[in-house]
Structure 1
Amino acid sequence: MSTSEPSPPPISRAPIHTSVLRSGSIRYRVEGPEDAPPVVLLHGPLMNGTVWDGVVDRLRDRHRCFTPTLPLGGHDVPMDADADLSIRGVALLVEEFLAERGLSDVTLVLNDWGGAQVLVSERRTERVGRVVLTSCEAFDNYPPGKAGRTLRDAARVPGGLWLLSRLSGMRAFRRAPNGWGAMSRRPIPDATMDAWFAPMRAHRLVRRDLRKYLLSVPSRETLLAWSEAMRGYADPVLIVWAAEDELMPPEHGPRLAGLFPDARLVELDDCRTLIPIDRPEALAAEIARFVGNGTVVQPLYPRDRGREDRPDRRTPSR
C-alpha cells in the first residue's frame, strides 16, 4: 500500500550562496530563521541539495536548513585540480564548510552518501551536536548496489563518464530498475534529474572530480575500521532506514544502531534509498523531533513508529 504524503504549497527557493574553501568553492542554499537550530543536509553522488527540498519545506519555519552541493558530480563549479576528493577528503570538506559558515551544535543529516561518517570515526565533530543517518552507505557497502557499481565501472574506463553523461538524458536510463529507478518508489521529476545530471554533461572538470571520488574507495578493512571507530561517539544519533531499500541493506539500519550508545532506529515503509523524495513528511517529522525543539511536523503513521533498540535520551521514547 502506498502512503500518500501531501505536498506543501510551492515556494520560491532560496538564492544560491558560495562558500569558498581551501580546495574550491561549494554552492549551498540556506532557508529558515537565523537564530533557529542549524540542520545541514547532505546528498549522494550525481545529485545536489534539491533532493532535500520536500524536507526543507517542512522544516524551514523552525530550523536553519543548509543544503550544500558536494563535489560528487552534481556540482556546477569544478574543484581545484589538486583537491582531495576521496571519501575522506569530501568528508573533510563538510567539516571545513561547517567552520567557514561558523556553525555549531549542527544536526548533520546524511542520505545515500555515507562519507561524513568519517567525521564521526575520527572525532572531527566539534561543530556537530547530533547525527541523522538515512539509508546511506555504511560498513563495506561502497559503492552501493547496481547503480553504484555502474558509476564506478564507468569511471574506470576512459570516456566512460562522458558516455554515462549522454545516457543520463534518456528516460529509460533514469528509470532503469538496476540504476536510478531502484533508488525511489516514486518517479523523480525530469526537471530535478535534468539539474542533477547537467553539470556532468556540460563540464569535463566536473567529470574529473566525480572520477576522483568514484575511484577513491579504500579497502574493505579500512571501511570496516571506520565503522568500528564510530562506537565511541556519545552524542545522539537518529537512524531512519527504508524497509524496502534495494541499495542499502535493510539490516544495516539495526546494525548501525548497535554501534552507538545513544541511538534510535526508525524503519519507514513505502520508500527506498531516497527517503527525502519518497517520504519527506515522515522524515521531516523525525528530524524535527530529534532536534529537540518540541515541534513535530506531523504525527507519524502508526506503521512507521519503527523499532527503537535504544531510547533516545534527549527525547521521550515512543
Structure 2
Amino acid sequence: MTQSGTNLETERWIETTAGPVHLREIGPPTGSPLLFVHGALVDSHLWDGVAARAAALGYRCLLPTLPLGSHTRPMNPGADLDPPALADLAAEVVGQLGLSRVTVVGNDTGGGLSQILTARHPDLVRTLVLTACDAYEQFPPRSLRAFFALGKVPGVLALGGQLMRLRAARRFAIPRPLSHRGPGDEVIAGWTRPLRDPMLRRDTVTFFAGIDASHTLDAARQLRTFTGSALLIWGADDRVFGLELGRRLAADIPGARLEILDDCGAFVPLDAPDRVAGLIDEWLTG
C-alpha cells in the first residue's frame, strides 16, 4: 500500500475470480463509499479530480481499474469479460472490501456497466450516478461504433498502441467532443501503454467483442423498478451520447434528477470535477 497527497490514498491488487484488479482508495476509510467506474481505454485516473474533491468532503472513494483496455495485468485465460460479467466483477470487488451498500458513479462505457451492475445487484447500490454514458441502443454509441468495430480487428489496437508512443499523436487521443480540457499527457500515455502488450490486448478485444445493446436495454427495463436514488449529470456540449439520452434515462428511472453542466463534453469528470463532486454530495446529503 502507498500513501500520497493530502488525502489518504492506498492501492492494492484484488484477486478476483476473473483475475487481478487494481484498486485505489482515496479518503477516510469510514466515509460513505463511492465506487467509480471508468470507460473503455481509460483507467481509474479518469476520476482523480472528482475523487480528490469527494474525499475532501469525507467520502471513501473506491477507484478500480477494470479490464477495459488500460489495465496493466492480464486477466485469467478464458475469463468472461462481457458486460454482465464485468458488472459482476465490480460487485465482487465491493464484496471483497466487506461493503454491502455503495454509491456507484459511472461515465462513458462505465456508465453502461454501472446500469448493468445496478440491475444485476440492486441491493448493493444505494445510489446510481451516471455522467454522460452509454444506454439503451447506444452501447456502443452511434458516433463510436466504427471505432469499436475496428478494435475487434487483429492488429488495429497494436498499431494504435505504437502510434501513441508519439507525443504528437497523444495530443489527438481525447478530441473536444470527449473533453474540453482533457487529461495531461502523462495520463494519456498511461492509458495507451497497455495496448502494446499482447496479453492486455487479448483482454481488450474480448471485452470489445462482448459489447452489445441488448445488455443496456435489459438493464434499462430493470431500472424502471429501481428503489434507490439516481442522479444523472450530462455535459451541455456532449456530442457523443447527447442530452436526449440523459433525458430518456431520467424519465425512465423513478425519481431520477438530471443536471446539465455548461462547457462540458462527454468526459464530464475531466471537464467539471469539482461540480460533479459537489452535485453528488448535495444529492446524497440533501
Residues 8 and 27 of structure 2 are in contact (CA less than 8 Å); yes or no, is this contact kept in structure 1? Answer: no
Q: 1:107-145, CA deviations, whole angstroms, 9 ceiling, x for partnerless residues?
A: 1000112112112233x1222211100011111112225
Q: 1:62-83, CA deviations, whole angstroms, 9 ceiling, x for partnerless residues?
A: 0000100010011101100121
Question: Are residues 1:84 and 2:80 paired?
Answer: yes
Distance 1:34 1:144 in 2: 36
Residue equivalent to 2:125: 128
Distance 2:119 2:50 in 1: 27
Unpaired segments ≥5 residues, structure 1: 1-9, 293-314
1:37 to 32, 37, 40: 32
Residue equivalent to 2:116: 118
2:151 to 149, 154, 162: 154
Which amino acid counterpart does residue 105 of structure 1 have in structure 2?
Answer: R
Residue equivalent to 1:228: 221
Residues 52-63 of structure 1: matches in 2 within 5 Å? 52-61=47-56, 62-63=58-59
How far residue 12 of structure 1 moved from its aligned partner, in angstroms, is 7.9
Distance 1:116 1:55 in 2: 17
How far residue 20 of structure 1 moved from its aligned partner, in angstroms, is 1.1
1:16 to 11, 14, 20: 11
Residue equivalent to 1:301: none
Residue equivalent to 2:255: 262
TM-score, normalised on structure 2? 0.91
Secondary structure, in 3 states, of the residue corresponding to 1:16? Answer: strand
Percentage of matched positions with identical amino acids: 33
1:138 to 114, 135, 139: 135
Distance 1:277 1:143 in 2: 20
Residue equivalent to 1:309: none
Residues 7 and 26 of structure 2 are in contact (CA less than 8 Å); yes or no, is this contact kept in structure 1? Answer: no
1:98 to 82, 94, 98: 94
Which amino acid counterpart does residue 250 of structure 1 have in structure 2?
Answer: L
Query: RMSD in angstroms over aligned alpha carbons?
Result: 1.8
Distance 2:167 2:94 in 1: 36
Q: 1:150 to 1:174 in 2, by over 3 A?
A: farther
Secondary structure, in 3 states, of the residue corresponding to 1:46? Answer: coil
Residue equivalent to 1:308: none
Residue equivalent to 1:192: 187
Secondary structure, in 3 states, of the residue corresponding to 1:232? Answer: coil
Q: 1:246 to 1:279 in 2, by over 3 A?
A: same
Distance 1:165 1:119 in 2: 30
2:164 to 168, 172, 177: 168
Secondary structure, in 3 states, of the residue corresponding to 1:251? Answer: helix
Residue equivalent to 1:312: none
Distance 2:155 2:218 in 1: 33
Q: What is the aligned residue count?
A: 278
Residues 111 and 136 of structure 1 are in contact (CA less than 8 Å); yes or no, is this contact kept in structure 2? Answer: yes
Q: 1:167-187, CA deviations, whole angstroms, 9 ceiling, x for partnerless residues?
A: 2234454444xx631310013
Q: Where is the helix percentage greater, Structure 1 or Structure 2?
A: 2
2:272 to 272, 276, 279: 279
* Deviates further, 14-23 or 278-287: 14-23
Distance 2:6 2:193 in 1: 23
